[in-house]
A and B are shown apart, each in its own frame.
Chain A
Amino acid sequence: EADIYQTPRYLVIGTGKKITLECSQTMGHDKMYWYQQDPGMELHLIHYSYGVNSTEKGDLSSESTVSRIRTEHFPLTLESARPSHTSQYLCASSSRAGGPNEQFFGPGTRLTVL
């Protein structure tokens, strides 16, 4: 079944640790995105990718980095986690091939940095 996956679903980690949030999709989509969302607040785009070896920063300044080495995989890395990084991180994907660009979201990773 075509889907979008994120791991881990929940992560509690100490300040200064390096973390990688995984996102994979089996939908055959070429565009992928990372959003950050605090509880009850709006989604903010932090990174996006149009395809392999293509990554761009989004509207919200973020200390995270991303890579896109394979079409289906779009991991997000924080080199040194801080309490201000505590948030929910949502991965999404969409298809470039015509159409209105609807995005489909993964289940999210809830990150807590102590």
Chain B
Amino acid sequence: QKEVEQNSGPLSVPEGAIASLNCTYSDRGSQSFFWYRQYSGKSPELIMFIYSNGDKEDGRFTAQLNKASQYVSLLIRDSQPSDSATYLCAVSDTGRRALTFGSGTRLQVQP
């Protein structure tokens, strides 16, 4: 079983809709959770991180964390075609020296 699981997609949403991206992780010791956006051929770009249960909002993005269910999600409100990219979930815990990345979900926002 992979440590960080994401649906590969593609997830297709119309422009202006809410895109919901999900991620599950296996290590209960995980403490910090990150969402990265990666455009094709480019390097990952940090969108936001969360480490407390609940919601964290930053502009059009909301990260949600549920440690009991080992589940983290990213909501993108008012989706734009420029949001079309692969979204990577990453997890960190005190025992590891680096992040563990999921394989990413490809999002397509249709104009």
Residues of A within 8 A of B (CB): 31, 33, 41-43, 45, 48, 50, 56, 58, 90, 100-108
Contact = CB atoms under 8 A, between A and B. Distances in A.
B43 A107 contact: yes
Given A42-B104, A43-B88, A103 B42 contact: no
Contacts of A48: 97-98
A102 B46 contact: yes
B67 to A, nearest CB: 14
B103 interface: yes
Contact of B103 (A42, A58, A100, A105): A42
Contacts of B102: 42
A43 to B, nearest CB: 5
Given A41-B103, A100-B32, A101-B32, A50 B46 contact: no
Interface of B: 31-32, 34, 42-46, 49, 51, 88, 90, 92, 97-99, 101-104
Contact of A101 (B45, B99, B104): B99
Contacts of A107: 42-43
Contact of A58 (B92, B98, B104): B98
Given A100-B32, A100-B49, 19 more contacts: A42-B102, A43-B101, A45-B98, A48-B97, A48-B98, A50-B97, A58-B98, A90-B44, A100-B92, A101-B32, A102-B32, A102-B46, A102-B49, A103-B90, A103-B98, A104-B46, A105-B44, A106-B43, A108-B42
Contacts of A100: 31-32, 34, 49, 51, 92
A100 B72 CA distance: 15
B38 to A, nearest CB: 9
A41 B39 CA distance: 13
Contacts of A58: 98
A100 B102 CA distance: 18
A104 B99 CA distance: 11
Contact of A31 (B32, B46, B97, B103): B97
Contacts of A90: 43-44
